[in-house]
Chain A
Amino acid sequence: MTENNKLEKLLIVDDERELSELMKDSLERSGYKNVTAASSAEDAVRIMNGGMPDLILLDVMMPGMDGFELLAKIRETSKVPVIMLTAKGEAEDKYRGFGAGADDYLVKPFLMRELLFRIEAVLRRAYPEKSRIVRLKNARVDLDRAEVLRGEETLTLTAKEYAIFMKLYENSGRIVSTPSLCQTAVGEVWTGYESTLMTHIRHLREKIEADPGKPESLVTVRGLGYKLVIK
């Protein structure tokens, strides 16, 4: 866990005090020093009136106004990233067609490290300018300049390589399917683009890996896709 203090303001909205305290505790130990907990949607509205947080963790099932109602209310005025805490099937059964607008879902019970991962991924997507340098095992990537820094060497990423890298980076630690990477690189139609994708991946590896034949950062998950491992 990182020692750096993170400045993002997080708001937890959950009527289960024990769980929200545990989340707050976990997040604080991981460096998020600016965490507020609300015990109801009404409470959350009051807190948000005093200033919008950078990210909201929102429980679905709450007495009074529930999570989806609050989400709809938030979305009337704000695009603040929201992670819903719920059971996936449950939310979609009950609120089919209504749940749109959440940035991610997390199924209860979840691992705290999974929660942290999701928060980081959503923050990265929502506020890309806040983390400019990605540290990999054998290189660093400057996202603002689309450059790979390896010791004294500076290599430039092409537009396609950059798009593919960004997609993997936003989902780092997780598998991104080949079709969705192709889609990122070329748009909707991706069929037949796989070999081109492999070429881009090879070039990316040549830039970020010590030994492109034995990738340590941009790994292949056979039959499924690729995964970026951040240091």
Chain B
Amino acid sequence: MNTAKFFKKNLKRSMTLIVLFFVTNVCAFLLFLTLFGLSQQGEILYDGVGLQDVVDTFDGTGISRDDLTELLQTYDSFAFRIDAGGNIVDQIGLPEELNHQYSIADVAGFSRWYLDDYPVKTEIADDGSITVLGLPEGSAVRYNIIMPLQNVAWYLLLIPILLLGSLFLFLYLQWSDSVKTRKAVEPILNGIDKLAAGRPVNLPETGPLAQVNEELNEASRKARQREDVRTEWISEVSHDIRTPLAVISGCAEAVENEDNARYCRRIQANVMKLRSLVETLNLNNKLTYGLVPAVFKEESAAGLFRDALIDFINENNMELFPMETDIGTEAEETAVSADRNLIERLVSNLMANSIVHNPDGTRIDVSVHSENGEIVLKIRDSGIGMEEEEVEKLYESNPENYESHGQGLRLAAKIVKVHNGSIRFRSEPGEYFETEARIPVIQKQAAD
């Protein structure tokens, strides 16, 4: 699985989200400012009435004095006007402690800040009189900003820098998070791959995703158990089949005479075919699930194959199949790393393929040579051969459907693979069938 792609996509999505989030917030903030913001500066008192209305009422032009008084009372506010000399000339609801003459210093104070603790708003008329609208203590905030122009420029510069910085910080966090997640997730993905391929999974049960690892290990253990049960089952069945086969074979042998020899031999041949089939099934199953640990030893290539061939010939009736064996002298001094049992099985499966499917008298040629750092085993019979598409099917190690034909050859291919080698099947129907197995040579033995 391509995890990099997955995280790139994830990053893109997060980026889009963060931009959207940012834009939404800015819009909402601006909207809020527009609706309730500072631009009103307390001009509006309440219910659409503001400082201008107070000025108008004192001038005798606006809403009636009673209405204004009622409104100011409702909101615990007050209004007054002083003339240029600082004397109170008019007032509505003015608190007692504020009812005094105001000096220039007082005026300078409250026109910018608070009058005592009351937030106030002032309006200066042309004649020098000042109208003051006072709000209840603690009901509003007045904040005046004074900033050198130079600093404002800095602030304007700082904002994009801060934004960019935040963006980079975000990207970094996102990236480091991805890397961390990837580190944790990758073994899990590999584990799932392994599980699917039927190989054992053993992840460390630590880290933030420990639970997932535990579950995967458990799933692997369970799958393994099922495989073990199945393999054990096949192994037992194949063992149990041997005894009745031995009895059939023995009986056929016991009753054999000149008249029925043909039939008895056929019984024997089929018993051996069944034996081979069961053994192949059993070993194939074990090899597929890695339950037969191959034991590799350094062996003389010639000796290894010679012994395997001799074993096969000694145990099978080969009198009716003329055989030619050519083991190169150079192969005597060539060593391969091999499992003796598996090589015996390889040779016996290839030989059996040639004698089981072909008529008596079919010639079999076997050669073992060392070339280009590989030991090459060729077994070729001049028998009925195989159609090309059948040959192609032999390379599928685990065909979708059970193919009864060629199981032995498929197992041979598997054995060669276990030895890090390669196998080729060639055939011409009616002419020949040939198997060429190549196994890498480990080193040249010193000739002594």
Please tell me the number of chain B residues within 8 Å of chain A, measured between CB atoms.
44
Which residue of chain A has the shortest Cβ distance to B310 in the bound complex?
A175
Stretch with Cβ within 8 A of B (4 or more), from A109-117, A154-162, A202-210? A109-117
- With contact pairs A61-B239, A89-B345, A175-B310 given, residues A223 and B247 touching in the complex (Cβ less than 8 Å): no
Query: Which of B250, B306, B344 is close to A177, meaning CB atoms less than 8 Å apart?
Result: B306
Which candidate, B87-95, B114-122, B322-330, B391-399, is the interface stretch facing chain A? B322-330
A114 and B333 alpha carbons, distance in the complex (Å): 34
The chain B residue sitting closest to A176, CB to CB, is B310
CA distance A198 to B295 in the complex (A): 35
Report Cα–Cα, A174/B326, bound state, in Å: 19
Is the CB–CB distance between A179 and B309 below 8 Å? no
Q: Is A231 located at the chain interface by the 8 A CB criterion?
A: no
Does A90 touch B at the CB level, under 8 Å? yes
CA distance A25 to B247 in the complex (A): 12
Residues in A with CB closer than 8 Å to B306 are 177, 179, 223-225
Q: How far is the CB of A53 from chain B (nearest CB, A)?
A: 21
B271: Cβ under 8 A from any A Cβ: yes
Q: How many residues of A contact B (CB 8 A)?
A: 36
The secondary structure that dominates the B interface is helix
Please indicate the chain B residues that have their CB under 8 angstroms from the CB of A223 in the complex.
306, 324-327, 366
**Which B residues are in CB contact (< 8 Å) with A29?**
254
Contact across chains for B242 and A87 when beta carbons are under 8 A apart: yes
Complex contact B325–A222 (CB within 8 A): yes
Q: Are B239 and A109 in contact (CB under 8 A)?
A: no
In the complex, chain B residues whose CB is within 8 Å of the CB of A90? 235, 239, 282
A7 lies within 8 A of chain B by Cβ: no
B292 touches A191 (CB 8 A): no
With contact pairs A19-B250, A108-B245 given, residues A191 and B310 touching in the complex (Cβ less than 8 Å):
no
Cβ of A95 to closest chain B Cβ, rounded Å: 13
Whether A225 lies near B310 (C-beta < 8 A) is yes
Of chain A, the residue at the smallest CB distance from B325 is A223
| A92–B341 CB distance below 8 A | yes
As a 0/1 sequence over residues 86 to 97 of chain A, the CB contacts with chain B under 8 angstroms (1 = contact) are 011110110010
B27 CB within 8 Å of chain A? no
Instruction: Say if the beta carbon of B253 comes within 8 Å of chain A.
Output: yes
Q: Which of A87, A92, A176, A224 is in CB contact (< 8 Å) with B239?
A: A87
User: Given that A175-B314, A224-B306 are known contacts, is A19 also in contact with B247, CB under 8 Å in the complex?
Assistant: yes
B67 on interface, CB distance cutoff 8 Å? no
Q: Which chain A residues in 65-89 approach chain B with CB under 8 Å?
A: 87-89
Contact between A114 and B310, CB atoms less than 8 A apart: no
Cross-chain contact A89 with B283 (CB below 8 angstroms): yes
A111-B324 CB under 8 A given contacts A87-B279, A175-B314, A224-B313: no
B23 within 8 Å of A (CB atoms): no
Question: Could you tell me if B243 and A108 are in contact, using CB atoms closer than 8 angstroms?
Answer: yes
CB-contacts of A1-49 with B (<8 A): 16, 18-19, 22-23, 25-26, 29
Chain B residues with CB under 8 A of A88: 341, 344
Question: How far is A23 from B249 in the complex, measured between Cα atoms in Å?
Answer: 11
Chain A nearest CB, measured from B269 CB (Å): 11
Residue of A89, A96, A174 touching B314 (CB-CB under 8 A):
A174
Q: Judge if A221 is at the interface, Cβ distance under 8 Å.
A: yes
Q: Which residues of the partner chain B approach A89 to less than 8 Å between Cβ atoms?
A: 279, 282-283, 292, 341, 345
Interface pairs (5), CB distance under 8 Å: A19-B250, A23-B250, A108-B242, A108-B243, A108-B245
A residues neighboring B (CB under 8 Å): 16, 18-19, 22-23, 25-26, 29, 61, 87-90, 92-93, 96, 107-114, 174-177, 179, 189, 191, 221-225
> A22-B247, A26-B250, A110-B246 known; 11 other A-B pairs, CB under 8 Å?
A22-B251, A26-B254, A89-B292, A96-B295, A109-B250, A111-B253, A189-B448, A191-B332, A223-B324, A223-B327, A225-B306
The 9 tightest CB contacts between A and B, nearest first, are A223-B325, A109-B246, A109-B245, A108-B242, A22-B250, A174-B314, A175-B310, A16-B243, A109-B249
